[in-house]
Amino acid sequence: MTNTVSSSALDDRDGVIWLDGRFVPWREARLHVLTHGLHYGGSVFEGERVYDGHVFKLAEHTRRLHDSARELGYRLPFTEDELMDATLEVVRRQGIGDGYVRPVAWLGSEHMGVAGGDASVHVAIATWEWPHVFSTEAKEQGIRLGTSRWRRPPPDTAPVRAKAASLYSICTLARDEAYRSGYDDALLLDYRGQVAEATGANIFLVAGETLYTPVADCFLAGITRATVLDLAAELGVRAVERRVRPEELGQFDECFLTGTAYEIQPVRAIDQHEYRTGKTTITMMESYDRLVRQITA
């Protein structure tokens, strides 16, 4: 397994977490066991990267957190500006150079029932050092994906436009099974049986010098995915959004994943199909690295 997330327990660290408008000691940032969001999946979250002390695309992530909450039927009690200010302050207080930020919002514990009703809305922001999801070796050589039996649901059965915790249960199941089978991550198909994404990242495939990525109509179109499409346009790299069938996977030369945590992660194999980390992948990786290091929050 090539995942490099720290094994240190996330509930037992020094520092502070921003919780409902104030900074509290890290170990005291708690919620009740009868919290509605814990029982019924009514929480939304973001993942943000810190580079050289700056949060990359903070405004876009903060806007999406608000949008995700609205998709689940509630509104956050803090404005986008308030959340951005809080994010920058918690990064400063924690002294994060290169790391990760996790804003999360959830419904409280006023009552226990399926309907969210008049439950209070809570928001927290935490940050910690986290250089890479995968090892340096995996970053250079690529990771292996196995196609999962779990699929992305149709858009009329789940809030697929939200970054909602409830949708990630599929990802947890798929990734755990992938690990047990010797893979680094899982490839999820959509409800039609077409290529969708990995468990925490969007997917790009390369044929010749053309980029292909699935149409994001039943899964989250990531902020990093959009960034890569913008970079491709600037670099004159042709990029095509279209449906990709699993039987086409052997026709591509390169493959990589994109996500805030993953950044741009090369893939060396999906099931029996093998790929190289070629010119297009390397170009996108280098361009992305330059971009995140030169743009501040």
Average pLDDT taken over every residue of the chain: 94
pLDDT score recorded for residue 136: 82
Choose one of 129, 154, 170: the last residue of a domain. 129
Same domain for 290 and 173: yes
pLDDT digits (tens, 9 = 90+) for 79-134: 999 999 999 999 999 999 999 999 999 999 988 889 887 899 999 999 999 878 88
Same domain for 141 and 124: no
Q: Which residues span the domain enclosing 248? A: 136-294
Other residues' Cβ atoms within 10 Å of the Cβ of residue 90: 21
Same domain for 117 and 251: no
Given a cut of 70, whether residue 196 has pLDDT beyond it is yes
pLDDT score recorded for residue 295: 56
pLDDT score recorded for residue 4: 52
Spatial contact of 189 and 246, defined as CB atoms under 8 Å apart = yes
pLDDT score recorded for residue 294: 82
Same domain for 112 and 41: yes
Domain assignment present for 10: no
At 297, the pLDDT band (50, 70, 90 cuts) reads very low
Choose one of 129, 162, 193: the last residue of a domain. 129
Instruction: Supply 84's token pair.
Output: 């951005």
Residue 279 appears among annotated catalytic residues:
no
Same domain for 115 and 221: no
pLDDT digits (tens, 9 = 90+) for 56-73: 999 999 999 999 999 999
Out of 57, 139, 163, 279, the active site residue is: 163
Instruction: Supply 81's token pair.
Output: 């500006």
